[in-house]
Amino acid sequence: MTAYGAADWPSEVAIEADGGILMDAETGTILYGKNINEAYYPASITKLLTAQVVLDRCKLDETVEFSQNAVYNVEQGSKSLSMDTGDRMSVKDSLYGLILHSANEVANALAEHAAGSTEEFAKLMNQKAEELGCTGSNFVNPSGLNDPEHYTTAYDMALIARAALNYSEIVEIMGTRVYKIPPSQKAPEGQTISPGHKMLKKNDAAYDSRVFGGKTGFTSLAGNTLVTYAKKDDMTLIAVILNGHQTHYTDTKKLLDFGFSRFQSMKLTDYEGSLVPENHLTYSDSNTDQSLLLLNQNSRIVLPKEADLSAVVPIVSYDETSLTPSGTVVTVNYLYGERTVGHAWISPNPAVRSRLTRSAVPEGLSDQAAPGGRFRMNLSRGWLLAAGAAAALAAVACGILFFLKRQKIREARVAAVRKHRREQWMQESGCSAEEFEALLAKRKGSSGKKRRH
Q: How far apart are CA 70 and CA 85, in angstroms?
A: 8
Look at residue 12 and tell me if it is in a domain.
no
Whether 11 is covered by a domain: the verdict is: no
Q: Are residues 174 and 55 in the same domain?
A: yes
Please indicate, yes or no, whether residues 298 and 253 belong to a single structural domain of this protein.
no
Respond yes or no: is residue 184 known to be catalytic: no
Predicted confidence (pLDDT) per residue in 148-161, tens digit: 999 999 999 999 99
Percentage, residues of the chain above pLDDT 70: 71
Say yes or no: 244 and 297 in one domain.
no
- The Cα–Cα gap between 339 and 221 comes to 33
Identify whether residues 240 and 297 lie together within a single domain.
Answer: no
Instruction: Supply angle C-alpha 227, 173, 23, rounded to 5.
Output: 30
For residue 76, is it within any domain? yes
Q: What average pLDDT is seen over the chain? A: 81
Residue 277 has pLDDT above 90, yes or no: no
Residue 427 has pLDDT above 50, yes or no: yes
Question: Of 34, 47, 128, 254, which one is the catalytic site residue?
Answer: 47
In angstroms, the CA 99 to CA 169 distance is: 11
CB 75 within 8 A of CB 104: yes
Please give the Cα distance from 170 to 89 (Å, whole number). Answer: 18
Q: Is 137 a catalytic residue?
A: no
Domain count, the chain: 3
- Considering the domain architecture, whether residues 96 and 196 belong to the same structural domain is answered as yes
Q: Which of 67, 80, 102, 380 is catalytic?
A: 102
The model's pLDDT over 36-49, given as tens digits with 9 standing for 90+, comes to: 999 999 999 999 99
Domain that holds residue 422: 404-435
Radius of gyration of the chain (CA): 26
Mean pLDDT across 172-190? 97
3-state secondary structure of 35: coil
- Cα 49 to Cα 241: distance, rounded to the nearest angstrom: 16
Q: Is 34 annotated as a binding residue?
A: no
Tell me whether residue 90 is one of the annotated catalytic residues: no
- Split at pLDDT 50, 70, 90, the class of 325 is confident
Nearest to 128 by CA among 48, 58, 62, 60: 48
Nearest to 9 by CA among 305, 399, 238, 403: 305
Confirm whether 223 is domain-assigned: yes
Is residue 220 domain-resident? yes
Summarised one tens digit per residue, pLDDT across range 213-260 is 999 999 999 999 999 999 999 999 999 999 999 999 999 999 999 999
> What is the percent of the chain with per-residue pLDDT over 90, rounded to a whole number?
60
> Is residue 441 situated within a structural domain?
no
- 230 within a domain of the structure (yes/no): yes
Write out pLDDT tens, residues 120-132: 999 999 999 999 9
What is the Cα–Cα distance from 27 to 237, expressed in whole angstroms?
10
| pLDDT value for 384 | 39
pTM: 0.76
Identify the active-site residue in 34, 44, 80, 128.
Answer: 44
**Range from 192-201, 278-287, 367-376 that averages highest in pLDDT:** 192-201
- From the list 89, 98, 93, the residue with the least C-alpha distance to 45 is 98
Verify that 261 and 307 share a domain, yes or no.
Answer: no
Predicted local confidence at residue 85, as pLDDT: 98
Tens digits of residue pLDDT in 355-403: 444 344 333 323 333 333 322 223 234 433 444 444 444 444 344 333 3
**Same domain? 131 vs 51:** yes
Residues 41 and 119 placed together within one structural domain of the fold: yes
